[in-house]
Amino acid sequence: MDKPAGLTSHDAVHRVRRALGIRAVGHTGTLDPFATGLLVVLVGRATRLARFVEQQPKTYLATARLGFRTDTDDRTGKALEPVVAQPALPEAMVRVALAGFEGEQRQRPPSFSAKHVDGVRSYRLARRGETVALPEVPVTVHRIELVAQDGAQVTFRTTVSAGTYVRALARDLGERLGVGAHLVALRREAIGPLNVDAAVPLEAVTAAAVRPVREVLGHMPALELDAEARCDVLHGRAVGAAGQGGSGVDVALLWEGELVAVAREVGGLLKPAVVLADP
């Protein structure tokens, strides 16, 4: 779906439950309430496939406001310094700063995040006024480019690995430019091959809008099973890999074009990791 602003991802899932009359519903990758865009929602047994969607690269259109930082690294937080008018920086300077983020790096997650600290979400600690210093984590920025610059507003598009915080990119952009910054707008445009252009608005979520589960695994190699292999897979038994992608690769297993399981290739065999169909 195309999530509107002002709604949490959990609220969106609740709306889907009500619209479809199905309790087993889950989303793949949280969007903050002020963010909009692609939210992939899995229903029924397909909820077990969440991890295969979440690990895909994500593309965002983001806008950072230069001039001051906030405690949440976005517009919902409190300013950490006096708010002053920020003169427009040279566009070439901004482009160079953005380009410097491309590639593998280590990123410090925002204090207000879902990361755990001694079993407690860091945002809960931050709201109590406790100092939260989260360790840096490895992330990859596959692509980042300037889209527009309007005074202190810098809009950029980026494709990042799972676990990358775009508001942390906005914060770090401000640090690199020496002026401070925070995220003021965010729209998720894609998760792997899934694009928001093909998403439905929240009010249009009906049973007819539910798409085949195979579509969320379009990034995976697929193997059509014969009757004997299908029986083995449905009982949790490994089948021949037939060179589907190499060791450690996840493969979608199909029967008459329908997804029945996801398996991982190990030692020349495809070992079922998630089985969706009944024996």
Active-site pick, 2, 11, 32, 278: 32
Q: Is 11 a catalytic residue?
A: no
3-state DSSP of the chain = CEECCCCCHHHHHHHHHHHHCCCCEEECCCCCCCCEEECCEEEHHHHHHHHHHHCCCEEEEEEEEECCCECCCECCCCECCCCCCCCCCCHHHHHHHHHCCCEEEEECCCCCCCCEECCEEHHHHHHCCCCCCCCCEEEEEEEEEEEEEECCEEEEEEEECCCCCHHHHHHHHHHHHCCCEEEEEEEEEEECCEEHHHCCEHHHCCHHHCCCHHHHHCCCCEEECCHHHHHHHHCCCCEECCCCCCCCCEEEEEECCEEEEEEEEECCEEEEEEECCCC
Active site members: 32
